[in-house]
Amino acid sequence: MSSLLGLYLSRNNLSGPVPDNQSFNLPLLERVYLSKNELTGTVPPGFGTCKYLQQLVLPYNRFTGGIPPWLSTLPELTWISLGGNDLSGEIPAVLSNITGLTVLDFTTSRLHGEIPPELGRLAQLQWLNLEMNNLTGTIPASIRNLSMLSILDVSFNSLTGPVPRKLFGESLTELYIDENKLSGDVAFMADLSGCRSLKYIVMNSNSFAGSFPNSTLANLSSLQIFRAFENQITGRIPNMPSSVSFVDLRDNLLNGEIPQSITELKNLRGLDLSSNRLSGTIPAHVGKLTELFGLGLANNELHGPIPDSIGNLSNLQVLELSNNHLTSVIPPGLWGLENIVGLDLSRNALRGSFPPEGTENLKAITFMDLSSNQLHGKIPPSLGALSTLTYLNLSKNLLQDRVPSALGNKLSSMKTLDLSYNSLSGTIPESLANLSYLTSLNLSFNRLHGRVPEGGVFSNITLQSLEGNAALCGLPRLGLPRCPTDEFDDHRRHRSGVLKIVLPSAAAAIVVGACLFILIRVRAHVNKRAKKLPVAASEEANNRKTVSYLELARATNGFDDGNLLGAGSFGKVFRGVLDDGQTVAVKVLDVELERATVSFDAECRALRMARHRNLVRILTACSNLDFRALVLPYMPNGSLDEWLLCRDRRGLSLSRRVGIMSDVALAVAYLHHEHFEVVLHCDLKPSNVLLDQDMTACVADFGIARLLPGDDTSVVSRNMQGTIGYMAPGT
């Protein structure tokens, strides 16, 4: 194939070394694409004989060794991409001889040493990607000569020193210098004023100091993302351009008030100013930020009320205002935020009481912390309707009256409940023992009395979680006094001794038989109820792992087809192993399909508040303009369809089939009758029923699901389509 111009073999299962220059002769070769395979050995030296080679794209293989200096002998090269391999050593300075180079990508390797200043000779370079290596030293000032540079990424290294002045040219669109050891004044940002096309500035997790230059950021009319958290930046919050959508400045030393101009940023979706030294009040017109889904102002010195307009933030999912000096009542509009997942108002001076109704509107909430305030009145029973709640902390307030038994009736996902240091009275509800996932319960320092329930969380509860309630009794293992009862009081048993003698043995037999009958019925009811109880997700929103595109790419070996579990109309599903070792299924949507985006939104909406052992839950998601993926639990036993049709599987016994049918029926019953919205799956078939390691069936793929509000099931769209021409297997 001596006339071959292009070699395109990316995204296959190729392995082993690439043949050397003695095995093939490709003198005219211009383009080589071998990315995302399992190729080994060093960077193939055979390509060093291809004098017309323009593009060498070999990322995400298993190549080892150093970056070969022979690359500098290929004068036509414009694109070198070797990232995602196991390369080591230093970056050769001789690469600067390739004067026509436009892309240089060495991401995610084990390169060390300094960035060669000679790279400043690459006048045509547009993308320099050196992220996630072990590079040290400073950012060379010679980079200022790269006037055509559009993307500079040196993040996740160990670079030190200040950012040189006059470093950036007008062509810059993306700047990533985060996760290093850089220091010095942020005055270098004044040099960005001429970068009118700059979209991303990511400079977090360094040691930058000083104040932001005046008006620099406001003049960047294309800026979308600005992240400078975890530095030592002082001064005021800078004015932002109207184009910005994400601002993260937490964990700095910023002071002064939150500028009112922030409320005019109509595109703002995420704002985090937590852990600074901000003072003043929360802007009254914060409700104008209707696109906002995350607002973090915790750990500052803010005072005054929470603005009433916050109820206008219908898309808000996370609100963190803890550890400030906020006063007044919680605005009523806050209880109507149906999409909020995490709410933290703790350690303020908020007063007032819960509304008698309305808290049940927080249909998506998993985390609520209102501790260390001055809230009084009753705990509303409507909190018991928040079936998605896993963490509730109302401690250190002035709450009174009884603990509602409703908290133990429907909070099936609850893991942590803290009601300590209030003025609650009455007995401890027996229903709290029914919360299967409740592992942390603190009722200390209230005015509770009576018997401590047994079972559930009370089986392992400590005395520290009950102390300060002098009238409690029961649980001898904790040293609490014995509870007096009418039936077993010693004095009354002595006085009724005669009756015990004359009671007919037949009556005793009837009583025993009745007790056994009741016990059997109760156990059957409990077992049946336990089977129907929804199961909480293993990691809820407050502890939910955040995954990046890079981690998902690593987990799936670059979304390699060797990890492919299946493909559908809107995308593919890959098996992956996350950085923490967890095996997952990654469902990647084809964003070029308009219906894929609709499918992604539908699945998120259908499952975000679903909690049931027979539904495949979403562990987390990764989404941006160019990529959408859902991270789901990995089901090692595949789908029901495979068990019914594939010959290499052992047959399903009758009892196993009935068990799977029962699991699916319970899931559908939950979606139709127990979910706060009626969820119609619309594509229920064996391939959408997955089996975990215990052969428990879980319903999956809600991409075309429909949701009906409330209990209204009378109207169903005529356009609800499932799998076209689908017929269930006859086996």
Q: pLDDT tens, 56-94? A: 999 999 999 999 999 999 999 999 999 999 999 999 999
> Which amino acid is residue 545, in one-letter code?
K
User: Average pLDDT of 527-545?
Assistant: 40
**587 labeled binding residue:** yes
Bridge partners of residue 114, in order along the sequence:
136
Q: pLDDT tens digits, residue range 235-276?
A: 999 999 999 999 999 999 999 999 999 999 999 999 999 999
Question: Residue 612 and residue 615: Cα distance in Å, rounded?
Answer: 5
Given the residues 683, 692, 701, 711, select the one marked as catalytic: 683
Of 40-49, 268-277, 694-703, minimum mean pLDDT range? 694-703
For CA atoms 223, 229, 545, 344, the dihedral sign is negative
Q: Considering only CA atoms, which of 724, 723, 653 is closest in space to residue 686?
A: 723
User: Average pLDDT of 217-241?
Assistant: 94
pLDDT at 485: 63
Question: Residue 309 and residue 263: Cα distance in Å, rounded?
Answer: 11
Question: Residue 303 and residue 348: Cα distance in Å, rounded?
Answer: 9
The reply to whether 369 belongs to the active site is no
Q: Which residue has the higher pLDDT, 523 or 695?
A: 695
- Encoded tokens for 151: 């993307």
CB atoms within 10 A of CB 141: 14
- Which of 143-152, 351-360, 623-632 is the most confident on average? 143-152
Q: Which residue has the higher pLDDT, 725 or 177?
A: 177
Of 464-473, 528-537, 555-564, minimum mean pLDDT range? 528-537
> Which amino acid is residue 361, in one-letter code?
N
Question: Residue 175 and residue 198: Cα distance in Å, rounded?
Answer: 8
Q: pLDDT tens digits, residue range 421-478?
A: 999 999 999 999 988 889 999 999 999 999 999 888 998 899 899 999 988 998 888 8
Work out whether strand 103-105 and strand 79-81 pair parallel, antiparallel, or are unpaired. parallel
- Encoded tokens for 611: 């909690």
Long-range CB contacts (within 8 A, 24+) of 667-675: 667/612, 667/614, 667/615, 667/697, 667/698, 667/699, 668/699, 670/532, 670/534, 670/610, 670/612, 670/614, 670/615, 671/610, 671/615, 672/713, 674/534, 675/609, 675/610
Residue 528's SS3 state is helix
Length of the chain: 731
Backbone φ, ψ for residue 476 (5° rounding) = -55, -25
- Encoded tokens for 279: 């003072």
pLDDT confidence tier of residue 521, bands split at 50, 70 and 90: very low
> Which amino acid is residue 126, in one-letter code?
Q
Residue located via tokens 């064996």: 686
- Which of 2-16, 405-419, 605-619 is the most confident on average? 2-16
User: Where does 364-418 have alpha helices with state H?
Assistant: none
- Encoded tokens for 300: 């500052």
User: Average pLDDT of 187-216?
Assistant: 93
CATH number of 549-708: 1.10.510.10
User: Average pLDDT of 390-402?
Assistant: 94
Query: What percent of the chain has pLDDT above 70?
Result: 84
User: Average pLDDT of 8-30?
Assistant: 85
Name the average pLDDT for the chain.
84
Question: What is the C-alpha R_g of the chain?
Answer: 32
pLDDT at 606: 65
pLDDT at position 224 over 60: yes
pLDDT confidence tier of residue 613, bands split at 50, 70 and 90: confident
> Which amino acid is residue 453, in one-letter code?
P
User: Average pLDDT of 311-337?
Assistant: 93
Long-range CB contacts (within 8 A, 24+) of 253-262: 253/277, 254/278, 255/279, 256/280, 257/281, 258/282, 258/283, 258/297, 258/302, 260/285, 262/237, 262/286, 262/289
pTM of the full predicted structure?
0.67
Cα 174 off chain centre by: 25
- Encoded tokens for 310: 């916050």
Q: DSSP secondary structure string, 559-595?
A: T-GGGEEEE-SSEEEEEEE-TTS-EEEEEEE-TTSHH
pLDDT confidence tier of residue 673, bands split at 50, 70 and 90: confident
Question: Residue 579 and residue 570: Cα distance in Å, rounded?
Answer: 27
Quickly count helices (H) and strands (E) in the chain: 7, 47
For CA atoms 109, 111, 114, 115, the dihedral sign is negative
Residue 43's SS3 state is coil
pLDDT at position 703 over 90: no
Show Cβ contacts of residue 634 under 8 Å, excluding neighbours closer than 6 positions: 575, 583, 584, 585
Q: pLDDT tens digits, residue range 157-190?
A: 999 999 999 999 999 999 999 999 999 999 999 9
- Encoded tokens for 56: 């060498």
Residue located via tokens 């184009």: 243
CB atoms within 10 A of CB 497: 8
